[in-house]
Structure 1
């Protein structure tokens, strides 16, 4: 099994990537989506979306079946990111890690969930910061035979160039994701999205 991951500035592109991965034969239970939900933008996206935020709330509905992953979206909060809508194994792992960090002082949250799944730690920090700034992360565990196809799907749906995004963050003095940072407000998220749109060719 390999882990393939894509950060998206556009939530709809991330949703389409999830649907494409499912259509390519990646089981729903092996796909995760985590989207910044500042301003409660996506709370009604999915028939089982939970009401009320809180670490890990609503993640039990994340599930497979023919309906697919996106019907299992639930609300949760990630330290340093703020409110998100999420579904799938990565979201459940992040919620458990965050709860453990609160209870026992363990490092965890979204960074721990990503690195535990095989994502390079430096990349995990960029992904987490990308979610914090309004992005959507799609992560899938795939058989080696599907890895190239899954990577191509994420690329075709315009995932963020991670090294380019890391460079943009670094130019602003950023070095790593900070779980104690204030979450972005909806206005900050919107400004961030507009900035990236202006950079696109």
Structure 2
């Protein structure tokens, strides 16, 4: 059975490290996705063509598919990998907010988890997602956790103490 494992990283370099380690472990680039919303740098990065890959992730397999997409409540994001196709369809259909949450729930996350990870992107984190089999999940989790992701439980607690309940595409990040 296929499952999706996701981690968010405050430092884009940590996300790049995770991707490099995943690829070094033999994970096909087609099974890795990254979404990043760096404040104030999307337009500049997108105009640099191939250099955009460095702003999104160092994994050579992901560089060919980097795209900039607008997400309501988030703004423009750089995305690459298997989640990109679903997000791009949502963007062209005008249903991006539902598309982001729908993409994540369609990938196997609960609606609650999808709202949390969408919020981490909205607040500037870099999300790395991996499709894998149950038999490889523990190895993938170890690689991702070894690259310095945020502590999801603690971060969610911070968000909730500040009044957050779920991702809302109509509000700006705090």
TM-score normalised by length of structure 1 = 0.74
**Which runs of 5 or more residues in structure 2 are unaligned?**
54-58
Residues in 2 aligned to 1:21 and 1:82: alpha-carbon distance in whole angstroms: 28
Deviations 1:44-76 (A, max 9, x none): 6872749xxxxxxxxxxxxxxx93114532211
> Per the alignment, in what secondary structure is the counterpart of residue 83 of structure 2?
helix
**Aligned ranges for residues 130-149 of structure 1 at < 5 Å?**
130-149=120-139
Deviations 1:92-119 (A, max 9, x none): 212212333x2xx697221111000001
- 8 Å CA contact 1:75, 1:85 repeated in 2: yes
Displacement of 1:20: 1.0
Query: Are 1:11 and 2:12 counterparts?
Result: yes
The one of the two structures with greater contact order (alpha-carbon pairs below 8 A, sep at least 6) is 2
Q: Aligned in 2, Cα 1:154/1:147: closer, same or farther, shift over 3 Å?
A: same
Query: Are 1:47 and 2:50 counterparts?
Result: yes
Query: Are 1:124 and 2:114 counterparts?
Result: yes
Residues in 1 aligned to 2:101 and 2:14: alpha-carbon distance in whole angstroms: 23
> Per the alignment, in what secondary structure is the counterpart of residue 165 of structure 2?
coil
The count of corresponding residues between Structure 1 and Structure 2 is 166
State the partner residue of 1:98.
91
Residues in 2 aligned to 1:161 and 1:124: alpha-carbon distance in whole angstroms: 16
Residues in 2 aligned to 1:13 and 1:174: alpha-carbon distance in whole angstroms: 26
Q: Aligned in 2, Cα 1:18/1:120: closer, same or farther, shift over 3 Å?
A: same
- 8 Å CA contact 2:33, 2:129 repeated in 1: yes
- 8 Å CA contact 2:38, 2:125 repeated in 1: no
TM-score normalised by length of structure 2 = 0.85
Q: Aligned in 2, Cα 1:106/1:81: closer, same or farther, shift over 3 Å?
A: closer
Query: Are 1:75 and 2:68 counterparts?
Result: yes
Displacement of 1:137: 0.2
- 8 Å CA contact 1:97, 1:112 repeated in 2: no
**Which runs of 5 or more residues in structure 1 are unaligned?**
51-65, 189-201
Query: Are 1:165 and 2:166 counterparts?
Result: no
